[in-house]
Structure 1
Amino acid sequence: MSAKIDLAKRVSNDEILDLMKNASLRELGVMANAVKAKLHADKITTFVVDRNINYTNICWVDCKFCAFKRKIDQDGVYILSFDEIDAKIEELLSIGGTQILFQGGVHPKLKIEWYEELVSHIAKKYPMITIHGFSAIEVNYIAKVSHISIPEVLKRLQKAGLSSIPGAGAEILSDRVRDVIAPKKLDTREWLEVHREAHKIGMKSTATMMFGSVENDEDIVAHWDCLRQLQDEYQGFRAFILWSFQPDNTPLQKEMPHIHKASSNRYLRLLACSRIYLDNFRNIQSSWVTQGSYIGQLALLFGANDLGSTMMEENVVSSAGVCNSMNQEEMIELIKDVQEYPAKRNTAYEILERF
């Protein structure tokens, strides 16, 4: 079937499933790059200089794939003070950073007022920094513990200075999978609801997918289908980010020791398929944080047009034993090495500087 697919038309679920199962890696790369070339004819590959600030590691959700979380009574728990957060932002500014990715565990006691004060503090003290923060489950739980609606949470945080929300917590948008790996987490409908409500008020977001746990190909296509349908409604997603489950030190690995880290081949296949299928997403981001810099670079030949963040600080993936790092200069060289043109962007994918 793959040879008959017309990339000028929307690819169906059956067609993308056939490609996933039967197309060669080379064929997928050619097709994904053809789609990318139509959207990014200028051959500009972007990245953002930011810092991931995890304001707390306290979390009641207890996802089986997470090695970062701590229960409220465990040793090593923390909530960052405003002074500690300020110090991290000052370090980011010193290297020309423009964005903070702000998220934490789902703290059982922090209410909307705490988050409003935090966002307002940052927005007023550092107006040059874009606040990209709070995943769907954080927003959902803030609403529950504060006894207000999800739209009210989003509007109040937006008024305080929140610019956009990340796609974290999507994992696989299949309740069959979610019931295994994160039974306490939002179901598919609830995750989509938070992003839909954000998009309704003009707040943009990103979309993610974590593969490599207990999902099958059909679950992956169902995930993409959910995203594509919501994007058709509001065009609220700025980018899609695919990343692989990092099993080390996680409860799921103990329960299912046969689960191993997905191969680079699998990552590139799914990345290419996401570029082919998600025709209403302009940007596809490479996940060098989980794949390493060279597979991250290779992703640019399989549909990705963005290298993501320099990730000045990363705590969640590193808790699972994966510690990749890259600075701005390294990103620029990797992009040039595949004959594309590097550019630093902001959260809105606006070009700030070309190299």
Structure 2
Amino acid sequence: MSDCSNLQDVFAKNSKEQNAIVKVKLPRVSRDEILDLMQNASLKELGERAFGIKKQLHPDNITTFVVDRNINYTNICWVDCKFCAFKRRLDEKDTYILSFEEIDKKIEELLEIGGTQILFQGGVHPSLKVEWYEDLVSHIAKKYPQITIHGFSAIEINYIAKISKISIAEVLSRLQKCGLASIPGAGAEILSDKVRDVIAPKKLDSDEWIEVHKEAHKLGIKSTATMMFGSVESDEDIVEHWERIRNLQDATNGFRAFILWSFQPAFTPLQKEMPNLHKASSNRYLRLLACSRIFLDNFQNIQSSWVTQGSYIGQLALLFGANDLGSTMMEENVVAAAGARNSMNQAEMINLIRDIGEIPAKRDTAYSILERF
């Protein structure tokens, strides 16, 4: 095991939570009620209701964003998700594992533009064990203590535990001691196993995804929850997903935010199998975003997904319940591999937020305000 015991103070600054608890008691919407709204309410009605909830939770009129970089440390992956155009098998020619020197260069470029966080994840490499990840996380935490490591999806953590023959809790605890601050919600897709069996049959099931986040929350490791819609799911599957994360949030209060994004079909195996699948409309995105804000009454923060929707729909999302514009995303490879190559810098985010009459603010991973503009 790598010696990470001297790194406890590196990420102690992340222990202070702001916006950790929803201070406004919102009425709870049932499964049947949200299904009815999804299927029958007008877009205008949904937007007004979701925007009203946002204003209850965030009356200060501030919209936040984070300056970070998505570092995909490897594209080697054995899971073969049908919706992914990024992953490569071990025997393919264009595979890579980033060296520590390459990762350092990416972090230094991020620091030059005032970045505070790296979203760190990769393919699920078939042979990397927990010691490799300990070395990696401790290297970053020691060399760049000002950077928050928000990394490793549930499937990565689940597989690291299996190949290392240790528990999920031990993987999380060991990485936490090395400097891991929080984990992303990646790999959730739709938390309905009948959907997962079609789009990612090798991936961990819904219960296992929930287990990883539950174990993280027990250790004080906060996380985010995501949803990818627009593949083969039904409205009922979407609500099942929301219900599962809402129930876990009731139990742990460990999720900092919810992020909704749409399936990008271009160049994916799923599109080859189902050529009639098309990218979800902006209308569908905004409807589901508003419904998520209405249903997820115990989530303080909802992110806009401008990376998949483009900057202007990303801006419009702020009127449909989102209070956070997400990341400047200095680098993004997974969604880009499926043809979505939207980009935005800090100045553009500030202008979009001001354009709708809200106050832009740069935040950190814990949603603490660093600077207002």
Normalising by structure 2, report the TM-score: 0.93
Q: Of 99, 105, 113, which residue of structure 1 is paired with 2:117?
A: 99
Q: What displacement does 1:230 show? A: 0.1
Q: 2:19 — aligned with what?
A: none
Q: 2:172 — aligned with what?
A: 154
1:215 aligns with 2:233: yes
The ranges of structure 1 where at least 4 consecutive aligned residues each deviate by more than 6 angstroms after the TM superposition are none
CA RMSD of aligned residues (A): 0.6
Q: Give the letter for the 1:296 counterpart.
A: G
Matches within 5 A, 1:116-135: 116-135=134-153
1:64 aligns with 2:78: no
In structure 1, list runs of 5 or more residues that go unmatched. Answer: 1-6
Quick one: distance in 2 between partners of 1:8 and 1:229? 15
1:136 aligns with 2:154: yes
Tell me the alpha carbon deviations over residues 137-190 of structure 1, each in whole angstroms, 9 at most, x when there is no partner.
000000000000000000000000000000000000000000000000010000
Quick one: distance in 1 between partners of 2:363 and 2:52? 23
Quick one: distance in 2 between partners of 1:318 and 1:176? 27
Q: 2:186 — aligned with what?
A: 168
Quick one: distance in 1 between partners of 2:26 and 2:221? 30
Q: Give the letter for the 1:116 counterpart.
A: E
Q: 2:16 — aligned with what?
A: none
Q: Of 4, 10, 13, which residue of structure 1 is paired with 2:31?
A: 13
Q: Give the letter for the 1:77 counterpart.
A: T
Could you say what secondary structure the match of 1:206 adopts? strand
Q: What displacement does 1:8 show? A: 4.6
Quick one: distance in 2 between partners of 1:9 and 1:30? 16
Q: Of 71, 90, 95, which residue of structure 2 is paired with 1:53?
A: 71
Matches within 5 A, 1:187-198: 187-198=205-216
Q: 1:115 — aligned with what?
A: 133
Q: 1:4 — aligned with what?
A: none
1:262 aligns with 2:283: no
Q: 1:231 — aligned with what?
A: 249
Quick one: distance in 2 between partners of 1:285 and 1:8? 19
1:286 aligns with 2:307: no
Q: Give the letter for the 2:261 counterpart.
A: W
Could you say what secondary structure the match of 1:84 adopts? helix
Tell me the alpha carbon deviations over residues 282-330 of structure 1, each in whole angstroms, 9 at most, x when there is no partner.
0000000000000000000000000000000000000001100000000
Quick one: distance in 1 between partners of 2:39 and 2:161? 41
Quick one: distance in 2 between partners of 1:8 and 1:280? 8
Could you say what secondary structure the match of 2:227 adopts? strand
Could you say what secondary structure the match of 1:62 adopts? coil
Q: 1:3 — aligned with what?
A: none
Q: 2:262 — aligned with what?
A: 244
1:301 aligns with 2:327: no
Could you say what secondary structure the match of 1:295 adopts? helix
Q: What displacement does 1:274 show? A: 0.2
1:334 aligns with 2:352: yes
Q: What displacement does 1:49 show? A: 0.1
Tell me the alpha carbon deviations over residues 207-236 of structure 1, each in whole angstroms, 9 at most, x when there is no partner.
000000000000000000000000000100
Q: Of 167, 184, 198, which residue of structure 1 is paired with 2:202?
A: 184
Quick one: distance in 2 between partners of 1:32 and 1:280? 14
Quick one: distance in 2 between partners of 1:122 and 1:234? 28
Quick one: distance in 2 between partners of 1:145 and 1:218? 35
Q: What displacement does 1:199 show? A: 0.2
Quick one: distance in 1 between partners of 2:47 and 2:349? 21
In structure 2, list runs of 5 or more residues that go unmatched. Answer: 1-24
Quick one: distance in 1 between partners of 2:93 and 2:137? 27
Q: Give the letter for the 1:328 counterpart.
A: Q
Quick one: distance in 1 between partners of 2:111 and 2:281? 36
Conservation of the 8 A alpha-carbon contact between 2:26 and 2:297: no
Could you say what secondary structure the match of 1:163 adopts? strand
Q: What displacement does 1:9 show? A: 1.7
